[in-house]
Structure 1
Amino acid sequence: MKKKEKKKKLTAEQITAQEFTNVLNIQNNSLYTRDGYVIGYIKILPVSVGLLSQREKETLVKQLTAELSVEKEPFHFLAISRPVDMQPLLESYAHLRNETSDPYRRELLRKEMENLSDFTFGDEIVERQFFFYFSMKAAEDVERDLKKRISEFAEHFEAVGIKTEILKDQDIVRLCNLVNNPAVVSIEDEMTDASIPILKGVI
């Protein structure tokens, strides 16, 4: 009797990651939830606003606001911080170091690689990633309707020169890791004091 009770307890405790995160499956560039929804994602690619003048920034904001003002259906916004992937740059420096015979250049590349490694392991370089996602109740042809919805939404950003990317299966898996996996979460120190926002010029 005790063995049987113990077996039941272990079975109840062995909940899978999919059940915990409400993920049933990821396929066809969509995430399928256990409660019967299909979700698609788009990523907003980085924009170098620092290269724009103040007038250009204001124009961009007005254009994007006008584009999104026509949206009547709900959508979700997601902003995630993660350490910058410095591995491609490190590999590039390693290749350059192996190709050169100049001892001074080799030493400079070695020191630069050390500095980049310190930044990487110290989580000092963090990038902000932005996503929009859309959910629809699972039904016949829902994948087609969802794809159309995402494509039409992405056109708002493309119209003002902001590039987007529809997430594929592997990209969605990485995004789930960023949101749900503590091993890859980047913790930011931010002030969270309670405050009441006031619009400038109202008071």
Structure 2
Amino acid sequence: MKEVIDPKITPPTRDFVDAADVRGMFLYRKDGVILAYLRIHFYNLDLLETEAKRGKADTLTAEFKEDGKDFTYFSLPREIDLDRYKQNLKGRYREAQVMGKRHIVSILMEECADLTTSGENFEHQHYIRIWKDGSADRSNTELLLKERITDLHNMFANVGIKTTILRETEIVKLCNLFGNSLQAPFAHVDSTLYTPILT
């Protein structure tokens, strides 16, 4: 016997999620806590020489030394769609006149195929989350969080690492990443392609 689900009785998805609302740069939880998020873009330290790498690490360490406040750092995997890249490589292979260039492009095509079939075509996205209880004074809490997230953004900017303070759309996509990593690409997409968990 098939169970019939009555939408009037069944609570919406947001009742199972701790988030109450997302506005501007903040996520509001049901318990009154307000959160803000900073995305740290990919930066390959291995491309630097040893001294430059050490200097950048020391500078970033010094930036955070005075910062003893609460924050969490986390990383989430997201599958990368390699279809356009594959098409690009095929086009380059057809256009390549020099044998050496064709050989290099064919190696890239093999690597791309290996990534796709091995299931290792994931990009790790890195975030910092900050929060404060805004039950007593919401507007003051928002102001303090805005200052703090801007300070963190500037700390990374001082060492040349790009970061983005997440806004409404990006925060909703981040929430969706927890539930389905394939559903929330950070590349520009039409937001009607998926249903946000907060609606």
TM-score normalised per structure 2: 0.68
**Do structure 1's residue 33 and structure 2's residue 29 form an aligned pair?**
yes
**Do structure 1's residue 180 and structure 2's residue 179 form an aligned pair?**
yes
The answer for the alignment partner of 1:20 in structure 2 is 16
Residue 36 of structure 1, CA deviation: 0.9
Task: Tell me the number of residue pairs that the alignment of Structure 1 and Structure 2 aligns.
Answer: 173
The AA in structure 2 aligned to 1:143 is E
Residue 174 of structure 1, CA deviation: 1.4
Which consecutive aligned stretches of 4+ in structure 1 deviate over 6 angstroms post-superposition? 112-115
Identity value in percent: 27
The answer for the alignment partner of 2:60 in structure 1 is 64
The answer for the alignment partner of 1:152 in structure 2 is 151
Q: Is the 8 A contact 2:25 2:166 kept in 1?
A: yes
Partner of 1:140, secondary structure, is helix
The AA in structure 2 aligned to 1:142 is T
Decide whether aligned partners of structure 1 residues 45 and 148 sit closer, same or farther in structure 2, where only a CA change above 3 A counts: same
Q: Is the 8 A contact 1:40 1:167 kept in 2?
A: yes
Q: Is the 8 A contact 2:60 2:155 kept in 1?
A: yes
Q: Counterparts of 1:121-200 in structure 2 under 5 Å?
A: 123-138=119-134, 139-181=138-180
Partner of 2:142, secondary structure, is helix
Partner of 2:139, secondary structure, is coil
CA distance in 2, matches of 1:25, 1:91: 40
Partner of 1:55, secondary structure, is helix
The AA in structure 2 aligned to 1:46 is F
CA distance in 1, matches of 2:55, 2:110: 42
Rg larger in structure: 1
The answer for the alignment partner of 1:76 in structure 2 is 72
Stretches of structure 1 lacking an aligned partner (at least 5 in a row)? 1-5, 103-108, 186-203
Decide whether aligned partners of structure 1 residues 91 and 40 sit closer, same or farther in structure 2, where only a CA change above 3 A counts: farther
Q: Is the 8 A contact 1:25 1:32 kept in 2?
A: yes
Residue 70 of structure 1, CA deviation: 0.8
Partner of 2:51, secondary structure, is helix
The answer for the alignment partner of 1:195 in structure 2 is none
